[in-house]
């Protein structure tokens, strides 16, 4: 006798009905977890070729997301670095780094600063093993191409410091494992995630609404540039990015969350003048409402992500997310 031909009493019918409902609800929950949610659109794109220097100028309409981060017309984001005694230099060591303007000209990255001739650097330099040396980023060494005495003299003159060198994470050189960065809290970084001179991830994401909420609290309006994001998303709730597990840009590229971005004194330096904002803003204000476990006294704004699916990110792309 088959189940379909068996006589069913009330208890059996109830049991079957409850089982069906539970199964339906369970499948619905699983399906909702996998469903991508439209949260906004890409409103701005930024690329910072030289760490702590200015962004590439003009409106960037499209960038490529690669296994090592954002690339625009052959220039990788944070793929050039000023060093002193082999250690990375950022605005923490010299605020004058933000006075260096970057631009692209044919196959060259161009660096400009007031009173200086343009320094042109090949986007595809010859990697001479004799010019490769180890530099230290976030206490982690990695090989980088020394760009020579002329470049060293140029950055030393701009920053008004002796003994500086300029390095490039040139194509073909070994990259740095992000998991080697020591943090006092757990992250979602994988053992295989590699970066160049970025602090931790491939793509830093913020939202327009988060910046708007901060500016509503500040006496002086702030640009997004001191936060140095790669992608800004418009249309979401303030700080909704805290909850994003995966971020998909249109149908092409995707990244996954690895950590919140904790903010430091670099955000207190005006990106055009290299002068400090009054009262250590915006850190002072951020500490009032953006400190949270397990980050202690460091306020969070934006998220670090790594590449999940290489592709292109374009202005206006719809942004879909899976939530954490």
Closest CA to 305 of 286, 324, 277: 324
Domain definitions of the chain by residue range:
44-323
Rounded to 5 degrees, φ, ψ at 262 are -80, 145
pLDDT of amino acid 207: 98
pLDDT of amino acid 34: 67
Ranges of residues in the chain with a pLDDT under 70 are 1-34
Three-class SS of residue 316?
coil
Q: Is 311 left (phi over 0), alpha (psi -120 to 50) or beta?
A: left
Rounded to 5°, the CA angle 201-206-207 comes to 160
Three-class SS of residue 263?
coil
Are 247 and 319 spatial neighbours (Cβ–Cβ below 8 Å)? yes
**284: which 2 tokens?**
């002072």
pLDDT > 70 in the chain, percent: 90
**59: which 2 tokens?**
């409106």
**Residues paired with 109 in a beta bridge:** 104, 121
């Amino acid at each position: 006798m088959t189940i379909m031909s068996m006589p069913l009493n009330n208890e059996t019918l109830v049991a079957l009905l409850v089982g069906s409902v539970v199964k339906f609800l369970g499948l619905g929950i699983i399906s909702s977890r996998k469903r991508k949610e439209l949260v906004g659109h890409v409103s701005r794109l930024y690329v910072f070729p030289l760490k702590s220097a200015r962004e590439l100028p003009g409106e960037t309409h499209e960038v490529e997301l690669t296994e090592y981060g954002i690339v625009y017309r052959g220039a990788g984001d944070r793929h050039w670095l000023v060093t002193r005694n082999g250690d990375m230099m950022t605005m923490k060591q010299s605020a004058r780094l933000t006075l260096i303007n970057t631009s692209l000209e044919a196959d060259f990255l161009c660096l400009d600063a007031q009173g200086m001739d343009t320094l042109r650097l090949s986007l595809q330099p010859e990697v001479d093993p004799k010019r490769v040396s180890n530099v230290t980023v976030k206490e982690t060494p990695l090989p980088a191409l020394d760009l020579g005495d002329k470049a060293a003299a140029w950055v030393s003159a701009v920053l008004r410091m002796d003994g500086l060198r300029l390095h490039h994470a040139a194509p073909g050189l070994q990259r740095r494992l992000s998991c080697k960065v020591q943090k006092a809290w757990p992250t979602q970084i994988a053992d295989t995630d590699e970066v160049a001179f970025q602090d931790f991830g491939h793509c830093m994401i913020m939202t327009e609404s988060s910046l708007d909420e901060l500016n509503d609290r500040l006496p002086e309006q702030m640009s997004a540039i001191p936060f140095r994001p790669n992608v800004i998303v418009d249309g979401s709730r303030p700080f909704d990015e805290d909850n994003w597990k995966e971020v998909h840009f249109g149908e092409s590229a995707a990244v996954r969350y690895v950590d919140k971005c904790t903010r430091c004194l670099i955000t207190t330096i005006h990106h055009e003048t290299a002068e400090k904002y009054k009262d250590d803003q915006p850190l002072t204000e951020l500490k009032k409402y953006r400190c949270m476990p397990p980050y202690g006294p460091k306020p969070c704004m934006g998220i670090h992500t790594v590449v999940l699916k290489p592709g292109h990110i374009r202005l206006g792309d719809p942004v879909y997310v899976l939530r954490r």
